[in-house]
């Protein structure tokens, strides 16, 4: 453990106790002491503080091992609230959650293509006001977490650039902190999705955890040892712009042959039109899936080809960072029954070692669309815990 001042040690212990309760509740003071190695008197002092701060409550009696039944501790679900926002390129969604990620209220509003910076901020504030007004005790709000599409500067909370909406240099954190007087944290939507899946999804203990979002664009979030990875200039995980064909199609970023140009919903539609002569002009990714489900083999092939390409992208990712778990999400994964067998097969065929071939867990997120917005809420929770 790191050496520090008494005050720091105390807060490190506090965080350890709070996380122990979060992960193992209901749990007794004695169990916390036993499992964390913190002395029983210190655990008692910390628990008292946590109860005073409305973070923890005493509850149902636990199993007695002879003698008096111990009092069990739980997170106080309704003691604090968080506002989570998923600002996509076509709609803004908002939720309020309790301390364990239960969604209490939800709202959403569509946003127009090529929206101006001022209008975007206005719509964002409107969504947050609606959620804010639904929370009875305003003092219980820990803050606002925003998952924003495109590239985000984390420290300043500025949305730097989005190829989908065309927005540039939007000072989200500054504007919202001024409006609501609350702590605001802004994160790229793919990283927020990783955080949401990591906090609230069903997964094993993971040293290197990755989520990949494949929809209108492609992004990923990497969590190593419990923390999001950013890289030197905040673009770690931008696998949508990993080059897969030197002479490929022009990507929204201006480069050629990026991973995105092969596997987004639009890319799949384009491939279907190239491969299937009878494909209608107004074909959509949903229609391709529907036709594949009807057993139309040419549409099944389009999805299987897509699965192979997604698999190749994931093989590159495995070779770069070697994660133990990868969760996939986004609209394209609605066709998982056709994609996943081919994705897994491609990884099995190409990953460098037998351990990586057989040991890398690849699943579709069960949280689905909610992973991103829960991750936005978790930005604040990660500060607390
Ligand atoms: Zn690109």
Same domain for 136 and 241, yes or no, is no
Half-sphere exposure in the Cβ direction for 228 (13 Å, CA): 28
CA of 308 to the centre of ligand 1 (A): 19
Task: Give the distance (Å) from ligand 1 centre to CA of residue 148.
Answer: 18
Residue 246 is encoded by which pair of tokens?
A: 């030197």
Q: Give residue 4's pLDDT.
A: 34
Whether residues 329 and 215 fall in one domain: yes
Q: Tell how far the Cα of 249 is from the centroid of ligand 1, in angstroms.
A: 10
Among residues 223, 192, 219, 189, which one has the least CA distance to residue 205? 223
Look at residue 285 and tell me if it is in a domain. Answer: yes
pLDDT in tens, 106-149: 999 999 988 999 999 999 999 999 999 999 999 999 999 999 99
| pLDDT for position 96 | 97
Residue 40's CATH number: 1.10.10.10
Ligand 1 centroid to Cα of residue 251, in Å, is: 5
Backbone phi and psi for residue 255, each to the nearest 5 degrees, phi listed first: -80, 170
Task: Please compute, for residue 3, the number of CA atoms within 13 A of its CA located in the half-sphere on the CB side.
Answer: 0
| Cα(250) to centroid(ligand 1), Å | 8
The pLDDT of 306-331, averaged and rounded, is 96
**246 CA to centre of ligand 1 in angstroms:** 12
- State the distance from the centre of ligand 1 to the C-alpha of 379, rounded, in angstroms: 27
Distance 193 CA to ligand 1 centre (A): 20
* Number of domains composing the chain: 3
Question: What is the rounded average pLDDT of the residues 12-35?
Answer: 90
Provide CB contacts within 8 A for 179, sequence distance 6+. Answer: 125, 128
Calculate how far, in angstroms, residue 217's C-alpha sits from the geometric centre of ligand 1.
9
pLDDT for 60 beyond 80 = no
Q: Is the dihedral of CA 82, 221, 310, 151 positive or negative?
A: positive
| Residue among 373, 377, 368, 375 nearest 213 (CA) | 368
Beta bridge partners of 81: 141
**pLDDT (0 to 100) of residue 36:** 92
Q: What is the distance in A from the centroid of ligand 1 to the CA of 164?
A: 12
**Is the domain of 217 the same as that of 358?**
yes
Q: Cα of 186 to ligand 1 centre, how many Å?
A: 23
Q: What percent of the chain has pLDDT over 70?
A: 95
- Asked if the structure places residue 201 within a domain, the reply is no
| Same domain for 286 and 178 | no
Instruction: Give the range of the structural domain holding residue 63, as residue numbers without chain letter.
Output: 6-75
pLDDT at 302 over 70: yes
Distance 84 CA to ligand 1 centre (A): 28
Q: List, in sequence order, every beta strand (DSSP E) within 88-126.
A: 91-97, 103-110
Of 177-191, 228-242, 261-275, least confident by mean pLDDT is: 228-242
Domain boundary among 75, 98, 130: 75
Same domain, 278 and 358: yes
Co-location of 218 and 358 in the same domain:
yes
Residues 225 and 344 in one domain: yes
Q: 280 and 311 share a domain?
A: yes
220 CA distance to ligand 1 centroid (A)?
14
Q: For residues 263-277, give the mean pLDDT.
A: 96
CB 267 within 8 A of CB 310: no
Cα–chain center distance at 382 = 12
* Burial of 150: CB neighbours in 10 Å, binned 0-12, 13-18, 19+: buried
Is the pLDDT assigned to residue 3 strictly greater than 50? no
CA of 215 to the centre of ligand 1 (A): 14
Residue 12: its pLDDT value, please?
Answer: 81
Task: For residue 241, report the distance from its CA to the centre of ligand 1, in Å.
Answer: 4
Instruction: Provide the mean pLDDT of the chain.
Output: 91
Choose between 204 and 380: higher pLDDT: 380
Distance from Cα 185 to the centre of ligand 1, integer Å: 26
With respect to residue 257, please indicate whether it lies within any of the assigned structural domains: yes
Tell me, in angstroms, the distance from the centre of ligand 1 to residue 173's CA.
Answer: 27
Q: Is the pLDDT of residue 9 over 60?
A: no
Q: Quote the ligand 1 centre to 162 CA distance (angstroms).
A: 12
Indicate whether 240 and 290 sit together in one domain: yes
Distance 266 CA to ligand 1 centre (A): 14
Answer whether residue 268 shows pLDDT above 90: yes
Give the pLDDT band of residue 67 (cuts 50, 70, 90). Answer: low
pLDDT confidence tier of residue 1, bands split at 50, 70 and 90 = very low
Nearest Cα residue to 289 out of 337, 330, 328: 337
Q: Residue 70: CB partners within 8 Å, gap ≥ 6?
A: 28, 29, 30, 31, 61, 62, 64
**Alpha-carbon distance values, 161 to 87, 158, 182, 188 (Å):** 13, 9, 24, 11
Instruction: Tell me the pLDDT tens digit for each residue of 42-57.
Output: 999 999 999 988 889 9
Q: What's the pLDDT score for residue 317? A: 96
d(CA 115, CA 119): 6
174 CA distance to ligand 1 middle (Å)? 29
Residue-level pLDDT at 233: 83
The verdict on 35 and 166 lying in the same domain is no
Cα 254 to middle of ligand 1, angstroms: 6
């Amino acid at each position: 453990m790191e050496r520090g001042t008494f005050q720091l040690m105390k807060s490190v212990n506090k965080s350890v106790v709070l996380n122990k309760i979060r992960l193992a509740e209901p749990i007794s003071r004695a169990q916390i002491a036993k499992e964390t190695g913190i002395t029983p008197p210190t655990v008692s002092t910390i628990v008292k503080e946590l109860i005073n701060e409305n973070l923890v409550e005493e509850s149902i009696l636990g199993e007695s091992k002879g003698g008096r039944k111990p009092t069990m501790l739980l997170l106080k679900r309704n003691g604090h609230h968080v506002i989570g926002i998923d600002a996509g390129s076509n709609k803004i969604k908002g939720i309020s959650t309790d301390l364990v990620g239960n969604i209490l209220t939800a709202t959403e509003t569509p946003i127009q293509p090529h929206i101006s910076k001022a209008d975007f901020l206005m719509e964002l504030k409107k969504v947050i006001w609606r959620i804010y007004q639904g929370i009875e005790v305003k003092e219980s709000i820990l803050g606002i977490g925003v998952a924003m599409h495109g590239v985000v500067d984390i420290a300043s909370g500025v949305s730097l650039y989005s190829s989908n909406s065309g927005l540039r240099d939007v000072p989200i954190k500054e504007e919202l902190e001024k409006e609501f007087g609350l702590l605001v944290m802004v994160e790229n939507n793919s990283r927020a999705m990783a955080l949401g899946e990591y906090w609230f999804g069903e997964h094993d203990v993971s040293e290197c955890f990755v989520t990949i979002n494949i929809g209108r664009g492609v992004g990923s979030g990497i969590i190593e040892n419990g923390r999001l990875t950013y890289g030197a200039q905040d673009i770690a995980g931008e696998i949508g712009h990993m080059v897969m064909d030197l002479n490929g199609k022009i990507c929204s970023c201006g480069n050629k042959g990026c991973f995105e140009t092969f596997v987004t919903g639009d890319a799949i539609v384009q491939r279907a039109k190239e491969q299937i002569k009878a494909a209608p002009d107004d074909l959509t990714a949903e229609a391709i899936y529907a036709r594949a489900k009807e057993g139309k083999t040419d549409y099944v092939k389009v999805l299987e080809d897509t699965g192979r390409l997604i698999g190749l992208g994931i093989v590159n990712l495995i070779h770069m960072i070697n994660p133990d778990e990868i969760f996939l999400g986004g609209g394209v994964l609605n066709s998982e029954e056709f994609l996943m067998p081919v994705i897994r097969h491609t990884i099995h065929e190409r990953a460098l070692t037998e351990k990586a071939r057989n040991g890398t867990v690849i699943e579709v997120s069960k949280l689905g669309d909610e992973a991103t917005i829960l991750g936005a809420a978790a930005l604040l929770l990660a500060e607390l815990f």
